[in-house]
Structure 1
Amino acid sequence: MTTPTTGRKILTVDEFIELVVEWTEANQAAIAAAWANPGEGWEDWIRIEITRFIQGRFLAADLGRERHVYTDTSKQCDFVLNGQVAPDPARRVVVEIKTQSQGRLAHFRGDFKQDLEKLDELAGEYRYAQRLAIGFFFTKDAGAATGKLFSPVGARNLAEFLNDYHRVYFSSKYKPWRIEPDEMADDLVSRAGSPKLAQERDDVFELGMVWWRLDPLATAEEEEEEEEEDDTNSSVESSDESDAKQSDSTSTRTKRGVKRKRADDDSDDPDDSDGSGGSDSSDDESDAMSDDESDDGETASPPPTKKPKTGNTRQG
């Protein structure tokens, strides 16, 4: 075992991937034994073994104590690299590990995609972190009961799916075979449908690892821009509200000024010397009553004689 190096604390994404590949190559037999057990238990096992391997190499490496990083607090990630030793959240890496259980190669694609979608649900400061999804699968999925190889059609579908991602194949005969996205040869994909799949040289790779690196969900620059935009919108809204209030206040003062002017004009009218404020409503009512009584053709008592008024005097 390599003597631990205490100086290394921060692990980059690339360094972490290289360490995982190194551990996988050296532990294929142990992985095969864990994979043969039923259930999903070997996902926890592989996380623990990777932790032991990396900390055996770099004792001070921080692989994450806090794993509740999602909006749904019931969910956990597998690793948070540099979670405690990196003050800058942008230097942290949230890692998800997906392992294919025996007999579930056909479901591996969907399981791996679920981890990619899960990484879109990071909360709080973990939204600044880099994201990494890693999956382990077997190119020969031997069923415990039948002992048959995975179907050629399934192998072709898996090869086409994996073509979008970084992957590496492991074998006891050959060194790890690394393939970049979109670098799968067309003839290899076509040969995956051959009935002689088990005899093909490329098929000796039984264990595979796929990974995909995702950018942070947010950056400090984007957050600052959003805050500035929010402040600008708030300032505009506040200004609009202030202008509206000022306009309402001006309108109210104008209306009050008009009312006061009308009141002053009425009080200054020389025809209002009787104190009636210029209102002729009583005279109008009297005139109207006189007209109605004279038009109905009946004898009625004559209206009382009205004393002349100074100012506007209306005749009945």
Structure 2
Amino acid sequence: MAKLHLFIAGKPHEFSKATVTMSIEQLAHTFDCDIVPMPITKPLDVEFKLDKETLFKGTIDGTDTTTSSNAKGLRIFGRSQSANMIDSKIKMDAVYNQTLFELLKTIAGKFGLSAKNNVTTKLAEVQEFQINAESPVSNLAQIARQQNLMIYESNGSIVIEKPGQFEIKNIRLEDSKNLTGFSIQRNWSDLFYHIEVQGAYDDSEASITYAPANSYRTKVIIADKLQDSASCKSRAEYERDLAIAKGLTISGTVPGLHSQLGINAINKIMEVYSAPESFHEKLLLKSLTLNVEGNSENTQISLFRPFSEVLPNESA
């Protein structure tokens, strides 16, 4: 099992409790930590390592000091490096015929971040792209959804991948063996029969249907960054596939901390098995939370189905 180490402003620092959360549902990862008190008067840099490998780099967003009759406590909390890009609102003049990776390199570089493209197929060009006093993250995320892709942060780099593009092949999570508190949640509230996307122009629109959903359910999305019907159709398919994925969520706790369930683990496919629930599927790792308190260490995980209309083993 791995050990979690904390560094503040480049120096190792002791802590009594730490929580580090990484998720594909938000670009910036988060941390919350009780540390040995020290003077903090500005947002210092923070790094967490699993053994010797970097897990998380970020900045302190805030502190909370408590004082009792016999002790003084200091809590720090914050987010990873992409928080600066999330919080900022910028202007960017229109650029034409660039891929998501090219756009991401240009914008991320302004915030001290790099960009990485793990997609092996050729990325589509965006005909026109501009930002008008908005967060660049929401604009880039919309382009990613348009192309059935996702973006997430990994140690100061914004990564482009297909959902569940890679698989962790040498680990199987098994109920009551290496996974405790096994839970299955099913939710059909995000499924719609008719999904329509309206783009920037009258002729940039598309709609799809999802037959298993109730035919009375309709969803219309206004996506003003999309400029042709093909992009609108791709976005509609993304919304359908994401709703299917969210229809089943598995959660549980893995004892201890493990590099394979920490370092670049989100958005990976993992095998999950539960004999009592007659459940056996490969699922996408949606989020994980590393917890340390005293001598107790565990990793909470949440997984859902890979983005696909074809469902394995059972219907949504």
Higher relative contact order (Cα pairs below 8 Å, separated by 6+ residues):
2
Structure with bigger gyration radius: 1
Query: Which structure's residues are more often helix, by fraction?
Result: 1
Q: Please report the TM-score for the alignment, with normalisation by the length of structure 1.
A: 0.22
Q: Please report the TM-score for the alignment, with normalisation by the length of structure 2.
A: 0.22
Query: Which structure's residues are more often strand, by fraction?
Result: 2
